[in-house]
């Protein structure tokens, strides 16, 4: 029992055990209070009157308070409030426990990602189709028409109304006030935008759809763009720069990721999206907080933004070393989980990809009232002027997008990364413009996408562990062998839990971070103190060698028992200081119930640690006998997917020879959970064999194995049939930092000589030797030769043992492959090389102890015995047969290869931040920033194209009108007369070509603003506060 418990604890990181203690206390205390309340509820039902103590412990009351949809600030002297906190933290712990099991002890081995293009685009189309069925139209508010006074009492027919509306389309109309339904980028629309992008992002990860990588980068750019847009909107309208606001925002962004890092033992940078949003939120906050009195001035805030643009340019676009200077204090260069190039480089890479995105979102938010008014004024024009202006803008944006698609977007992912920061906003602005082109498009959204968009943060984080696994590198398998059914089941669980975590995060924020800084600070210190205490206790238990599930449970039981006793004794439903006596027997029974629940969770953990699969990791040496357990299985390549690929990519109308189904090598499911064999692709092999040299020694059988390994390292032509090459010679090739060498040694004494020479070489990392067929053919004709052969094998064994005494170089022995007697090409081979003789030779090697002397043996018949008929000359096989042998051999690298020697281990050279800088394109961004800021255009100058058709509807002239209305509604300082003069005195000009076309007096205009616009605008202000 103790051994298995320690095994479960040893599997878990220290932080996971600390988190287990924390949540065990929560769950235990919650169950204890629930049981205690249930006891007193039943008691009070049998008594005519109940005491205040039993009333405070009414289970129904506690349940109703804990499940109320709206969170109330926590009251630590009130039992129902504490109970609510415990319930939500317990639920959080259960979900994270499930995520931990999925990652570390899944019921089945994690699956490999397989890209199915047809399924990828099918699911994408299916989403859009189903989402279209959830179309939702947001009704506009009914507003009074300033131009209709006495006509409101008259009645008109439908035809007359239609005629009137048609007539209005040929004349100027009143400008519509801002309203929720038809506002640009309204909340429903931004959630919809995030929804479809999140679906594509998740599907890209699930199928490892690298061909859409560039599109996914644009979607991430859109998310980061919305960070700038949403937070500037909030800070401008609310002018709230308090520490409380910052803490509440950081809680939303980082609450779940902190607990994931704690429970999973992962790094923060692994979830880099959270780091991006957190960093750029900080950038927005500091910018808006600095000299905040300038934020409501016309040019002050724009000068601040321009200074920020120059700072961005200097840090990211000029290779001056400033990025490294500013970040190297807290980001290292050591490879780590989520940052194989070091945290400093990873953060530089991630932030550089989108270092302008947030800033341009900030510009759009700053000019948002102008852009909104511009659209509404255009829509008040006669239809031909409206659509001429919009068409001109659309052409400009679509032309830019076409250029982007055919140039930067068409590049491979590595080249595209160099330009994403500078050009990815082009499709973003095009999408925004086209999605908001008409009021009808703005007031209609797809509810399904809206719902997906609400939980983007939770779905992004939890995909790493309960949808995908191995930190999003493999698939969670709950139904093995049924990939589509498995996809359905894990997706349902994943979506349900993500949505629950979304509500948990917001509910706990409402309870622990209320709009009271003192209470908020106290709650945060308490939470961090509790987590820190659990971590310290776990560390001490580990230090003394007592960290186990049992010890964690005992500590949690003591803490929970003490805590529950104090809660029942010291709390009351009215938050007074009353102290209630605690009956001993009910309290002990309740504690026992809590302990039993935690015991169940511990047993589940213990059982899954023993019987479940394991986290993907290098294979241990216990798998030495498992990697050779496999066989060839037939597959049907003439399925729908193959036919589709053949038609799309090769223009094949049909496929032939389908009955001759090919075979693939596969490994038998192992009884050892840690033995998860997978095919090693080029990338995995080059990473495993980085700066290593493998030496193959033997005859033609070993030569084919050498070529198979070379092909799997990326040399597609290795071993191709070529009669001009000397087959009986040595070969040597280098693939990146991996070196492969083949030594031609057809006879046993040749192999012995090469093994002996390896003693003097220090560049060999593995020796793969084999042979025997040539000896059997040429040196084994009679009994005397048989004795000589036995002596040669003995010498080989002795050489191997001597080599092992003087060197730690791993040696692999490869036995001869199966012989196809019927395909042997001459009488000599048929006489000396039949499979019966080769089996005798294999037995001789084994009898002489070669398999005991080497580190591992690869039996040739393992991957050839069921493919004998394909041996074209009786000895050799088609190239793909040897691929199986090379894949089997590659599995052993995990435990056979020694750590790199010091002279080779200095291979990691961290990349230098600054390599992605581009001063020229950065200067272009500065120019666009200047145009957007001082041209008052959210579309960075494109809006000025409307001047060709509606001269008065240009962004700079709309500042006063748009911001006067906004400031009035939000209670911000009024627009000054100097600002109004900058707009050519639009409000006083009464110009006949002004688009509004109204001749109201100043008094009427002000009355309209106060009576009609302000109520709508105030409501719209609240809806405009968009936080990511």
The β-bridge partners of 694 are 740, 766
| Residue 800 and residue 758 share a domain | yes
With 0-12 / 13-18 / 19 or more C-beta atoms within 10 angstroms meaning exposed / middle / buried, residue 161 is: exposed
Whether residues 557 and 628 fall in one domain: no
In which residue are the tokens 């996809």 written? 487
Q: Residue range 637-642: average pLDDT?
A: 70
Residue with tokens 């189903």: 130
Which of 152-161, 552-561, 588-597 is least confident? 152-161
The pLDDT confidence band at residue 141, using thresholds 50, 70 and 90, is: low
Q: Are residues 809 and 782 in the same domain?
A: yes
DSSP conformation class of 315: I
Dihedral (CA of 852, 858, 860, 861) sign:
positive
* Residue 450 shares a structural domain with residue 582: no
End residue of a domain, out of 588, 611, 634: 611
Rounded distance, CA 411 to CA 771, Å?
48
**Considering the chain, what is the average pLDDT of its residues?**
86
Least confident stretch, 67-76, 130-139, 630-639: 630-639
Q: Which helix (H) or strand (E) holds 420?
A: helix 420-423
End-to-end CA, the chain: 48
Question: In the prediction, which pLDDT does 496 show?
Answer: 97
Q: CA quadruple 496, 498, 504, 507: dihedral positive or negative? A: negative
Q: What ranges in 242-271 are assigned the alpha helix state H? A: 243-264
Question: Quick check: is 480 in a domain?
Answer: no
Give the pLDDT score at 580.
59
Q: What is the predicted pLDDT for the residue at 982?
A: 58
Query: Which of 633, 667, 701 corresponds to the end of one domain?
Result: 667
What share of the chain in percent tops pLDDT 90?
58
- The answer to whether residues 135 and 169 touch, using CB atoms and an 8 Å cutoff, is no
Is there a single domain that holds both residue 658 and residue 584?
no
Q: Is residue 761 one of the residues assigned to a domain?
A: yes
> How big is the chain, counted in residues?
1028
**Same domain? 468 vs 532:** no
* Last residue of one domain, picked from the residues 591, 611, 631: 611
CATH of the domain at 884: 3.40.50.1110
Whether residue 694 lies inside any domain: the answer is yes
Please check whether residues 713 and 775 belong to one and the same domain: yes
Q: Is there a single domain that holds both residue 830 and residue 848? A: yes
Contact by Cβ (8 Å): 372, 184 = yes
Q: In what order do the strands lie in the sheet with 856-858?
A: 731-735, 738-744, 693-698, 766-770, 811-814, 856-858
Q: Give the Cα separation of 821 and 841 in Å (integer).
A: 15
Residue 147 lies in a domain: no
Q: Which of 136-140, 264-268, 930-934 has the lowest mean pLDDT?
A: 136-140
Mean pLDDT of all residues in 60-70:
87
Q: Number of folded domains in the chain?
A: 4
Model pLDDT for residues 9-49, shown as the tens digit of each residue: 778 999 999 999 999 999 999 999 999 888 776 655 555 44
- pLDDT at position 267, please? 95
Instruction: Residue 276: name the closest of 421, 432, 405 by CA.
Output: 421
Residue 751 structural domain: 682-891
Q: Is residue 495 part of a domain?
A: no
Which tens digits make up the pLDDT trace of 404-449? 999 999 999 999 999 999 999 999 999 999 999 999 999 999 999 9
**pLDDT (average), residues 827-856:** 89
Other CB atoms within a 10 A radius of the CB of residue 919 amount to: 11
Please give the pLDDT value at position 978: 59
DSSP string, 910-965: PPPTTTT--HHHHHHHHHHHHHHHHTT-TTTTGGGGGGGT-TT--GGGGHHHHHHH
pLDDT at 449: 96
Q: Do 781 and 632 sit in the same domain of this protein? A: no
Residue 651 and residue 544 share a domain: no
Given a contact cutoff of 8 angstroms between Cβ atoms, the answer to whether 99 and 466 are in contact is yes
b/e per residue, 112-136, with b = 16+ CB within 10 A?
eeeebbebbeebeeebeeebeeeee
Give per-residue burial for 76-106: e unless 16+ CB within 10 Å, then b.
Answer: eebbbbbbbbbbbbbbbbebbbebbbbbbbb
- Establish if 75 belongs to a structural domain: yes
Residue 468: per-residue pLDDT: 95
C-beta separation of 701 from 818 below 8 A: no
Query: Per-residue pLDDT for 58 more than 50?
Result: yes
Task: Give the strand pairing for 811-814 and 766-770.
Answer: parallel
Span 352-392, pLDDT tens digits: 999 999 999 999 999 999 999 999 999 999 988 999 999 99
Instruction: Note whether 713 and 669 are within 8 A (CB).
Output: no
Position 657 confidence tier, pLDDT thresholds 50, 70, 90? low
Whether residue 402 has pLDDT greater than 90:
yes
Same domain, 589 and 663: no
pLDDT band for 983, please (50, 70, 90 cuts). Answer: low
Radius of gyration of the chain (CA): 36
Give the residue carrying structure tokens 């938050």: 575
Q: Given this model, what pLDDT does residue 271 score?
A: 96
Tell me if 809 sits within 8 A of 756, measured CB to CB: no
pLDDT of residue 1022: 47
Burial pattern 333-362, b for ≥16 Cβ within 10 A else e, equals beebebbebbbbbbbbbbbbbbbbbbbbbb
Establish if 924 belongs to a structural domain: yes
Question: Other CB atoms closer than 10 Å to residue 259's CB: what's the count?
Answer: 23
pLDDT category at 781 given cuts 50, 70, 90 is low
pLDDT tens-digit profile of 867-911?
999 898 889 999 999 999 999 999 999 999 988 876 666 566 778
Contact indicator for 504, 251 with CB cutoff of 8 Å: no
Question: What is the enclosing helix (H) or strand (E) of 186?
Answer: none
Q: What is the DSSP letter of 354?
A: T
Q: For residues 573 and 79, is the Cβ–Cβ distance under 8 A?
A: yes
> At how many degrees (to 10) do helices 357-366 and 919-934 cross?
10
Cβ-proximal residues to 711 (8 Å cutoff; 6+ apart), any chain: 718, 719, 879, 883, 886
Per DSSP, 873 falls in state: S
| 549 and 637 together in one domain | no
In this structure, is residue 505 part of a structural domain?
no
> DSSP E strands: which ranges in 127-225?
135-137
pLDDT for res 1017: 46
- State the Cα–Cα distance between residues 890 and 874, nearest whole angstrom: 26
Chain centre distance of CA 1000 = 56
Residue 997: the pLDDT is: 35
pLDDT number for residue 782: 62
Choice between 664 and 278, residue whose per-residue pLDDT is larger? 278
How many Cβ atoms sit within 10 Å of the Cβ of residue 763? 11
771: pLDDT confidence band, cut at 50, 70 and 90?
A: confident
As a whole number, mean pLDDT of residues 734-759 equals 90
The residue with tokens 């006793």 is 565
């Amino acid at each position: 029992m103790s051994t298995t418990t320690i095994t479960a604890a040893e599997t878990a990181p220290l932080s996971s055990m600390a988190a287990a203690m924390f949540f065990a206390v929560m769950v235990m205390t919650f169950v204890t209070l629930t049981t205690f309340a249930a006891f007193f509820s039943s008691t009070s039902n049998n008594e005519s009157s109940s005491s205040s103590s039993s009333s405070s412990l009414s289970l129904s009351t506690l349940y109703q308070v804990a499940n109320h949809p709206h969170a109330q600030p926590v009251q630590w002297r009130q039992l129902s409030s504490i109970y609510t906190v415990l319930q939500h933290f317990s639920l959080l712990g259960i979900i994270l426990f499930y995520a931990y099991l999925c990652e570390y002890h899944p019921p089945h081995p994690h699956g490999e990602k397989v890209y199915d293009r047809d399924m990828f685009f099918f699911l994408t189309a299916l989403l859009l189709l189903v989402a279209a069925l959830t179309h939702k139209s947001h009704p506009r508010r009914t507003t009074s028409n300033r131009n209709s006074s006495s006509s409101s009492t008259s009645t008109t027919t439908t035809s007359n109304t239609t005629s009137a509306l048609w007539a209005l389309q040929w004349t100027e109309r009143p400008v519509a006030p801002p309203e929720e339904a038809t506002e640009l980028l309204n909340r429903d629309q931004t959630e919809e935008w995030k929804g479809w992008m999140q679906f594509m992002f998740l599907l890209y990860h699930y199928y490892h759809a690298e061909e859409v990588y560039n599109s996914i980068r644009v979607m991430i750019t859109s998310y980061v763009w919305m960070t700038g847009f949403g937070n500037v909107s909030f800070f401008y309208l609310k002018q709230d720069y308090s520490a409380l606001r910052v803490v509440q925002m950081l809680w939303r962004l980082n609450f779940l990721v902190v607990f994931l890092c704690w429970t999973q033992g992962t790094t923060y940078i692994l979830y880099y999206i959270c780091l991006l949003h957190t960093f750029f939120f900080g950038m927005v906050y500091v910018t808006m907080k600095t000299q905040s009195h300038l934020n409501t001035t016309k040019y002050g805030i724009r000068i601040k933004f321009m200074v920020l643009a120059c700072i961005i340019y200097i840090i990211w676009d000029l290779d001056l070393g400033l990025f490294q200077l500013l970040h190297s204090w807290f980001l290292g260069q050591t490879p780590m989980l989520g940052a194989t190039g070091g945290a400093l480089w990873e953060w530089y890479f991630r932030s550089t990809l989108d270092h302008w995105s947030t800033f341009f979102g900030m510009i759009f938010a700053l000019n948002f009232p102008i852009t909104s008014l511009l659209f509404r004024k255009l829509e008040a024009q006669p239809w031909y002027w409206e659509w001429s202006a919009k068409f001109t803008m659309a052409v400009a944006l679509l032309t830019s997008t076409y250029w982007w698609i055919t140039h930067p977007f068409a590049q491979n992912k590595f080249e595209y990364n160099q330009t994403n920061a500078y050009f990815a906003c082009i499709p973003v602005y095009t999408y925004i413009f086209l999605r908001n082109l008409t009021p009808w498009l703005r007031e209609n959204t797809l509810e399904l996408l809206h719902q997906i968009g609400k939980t983007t943060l939770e779905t992004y984080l939890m995909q790493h562990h309960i949808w995908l696994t191995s930190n999003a590198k493999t698939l969670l398998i709950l139904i093995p062998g049924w990939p589509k059914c498995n996809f359905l089941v894990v997706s349902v669980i994943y979506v349900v839990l993500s949505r629950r975590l979304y509500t948990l995060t917001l509910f706990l924020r409402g309870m622990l971070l209320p709009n009271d800084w003192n209470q908020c600070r106290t709650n945060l210190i308490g939470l961090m103190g509790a987590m820190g205490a659990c971590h310290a206790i776990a560390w001490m238990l580990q230090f003394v060698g007592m960290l186990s599930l049992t010890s964690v449970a005992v500590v949690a039981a003591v803490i929970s028992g003490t805590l529950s006793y104090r809660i029942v004794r010291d709390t009351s439903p009215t938050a007074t200081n009353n102290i209630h006596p605690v009956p001993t027997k009910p309290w002990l029974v309740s504690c026992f119930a809590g302990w039993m629940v935690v015991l169940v969770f511990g047993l589940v953990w213990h059982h899954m640690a023993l019987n479940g699969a394991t986290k993907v990791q290098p294979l241990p040496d216990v798998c030495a006998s498992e990697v050779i357990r496999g066989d060839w299985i037939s597959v049907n390549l003439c399925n729908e997917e193959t036919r589709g690929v053949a038609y799309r990519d090769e223009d094949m109308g049909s496929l032939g020879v389908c009955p001759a189904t090919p075979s693939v090598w596969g490994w038998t499911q192992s009884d050892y959970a840690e033995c998860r064999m997978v095919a090693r692709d080029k990338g995995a092999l080059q990473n495993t064999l980085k700066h290593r040299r493998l030496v193959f020694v033997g005859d033609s059988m070993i030569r084919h194995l050498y070529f198979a390994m070379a092909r799997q390292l990326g040399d597609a032509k290795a071993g191709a049939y070529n009669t001009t090459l000397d087959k009986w010679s040595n070969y040597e090739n280098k693939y990146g930092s991996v070196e492969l060498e083949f030594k031609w040694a057809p006879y046993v004494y040749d192999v012995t000589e090469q093994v002996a020479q390896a003693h003097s070489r220090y560049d060999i990392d593995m020796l793969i030797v084999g042979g025997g067929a040539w000896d059997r053919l040429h040196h084994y004709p009679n009994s005397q030769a048989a004795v000589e052969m036995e002596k040669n094998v003995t010498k080989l064994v002795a050489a191997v043992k001597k080599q092992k005494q003087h060197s730690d170089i791993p040696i692999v022995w490869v036995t001869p492959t199966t012989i196809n007697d019927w395909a042997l090409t001459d009488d000599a081979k048929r006489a000396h090389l039949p499979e019966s003789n080769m089996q005798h030779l294999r037995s001789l090697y084994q009898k002489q102890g070669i398999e005991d002397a080497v580190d591992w043996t690869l039996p040739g018949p393992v991957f050839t015995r069921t493919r004998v008929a394909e041996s074209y000359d009786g000895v050799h096989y088609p190239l793909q047969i040897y691929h199986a042998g090379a894949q089997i051999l590659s599995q052993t690298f995990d435990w056979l290869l020694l750590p790199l020697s010091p002279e080779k281990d200095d291979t990691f050279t961290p990349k230098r931040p600054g390599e992605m800088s581009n001063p020229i394109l950065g200067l272009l961004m500065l120019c666009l920033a200047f145009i957007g800021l001082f041209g008052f255009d959210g579309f960075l100058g494109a809006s000025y194209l409307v001047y060709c058709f509606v001269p008065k509807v240009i962004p700079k002239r709309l500042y006063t009108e748009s911001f006067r209305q906004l400031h009035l509604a939000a209670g911000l300082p009024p627009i000054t007369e100097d600002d109004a003069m900058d707009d050519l005195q639009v409000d006083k000009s009464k110009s006949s070509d002004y688009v509004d076309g109204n001749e109201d007096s100043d008094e009427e205009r002000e009355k309209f603003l106060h009576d009609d616009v302000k109520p709508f605008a105030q409501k719209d202000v609240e809806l405009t506060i968009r936080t990511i």
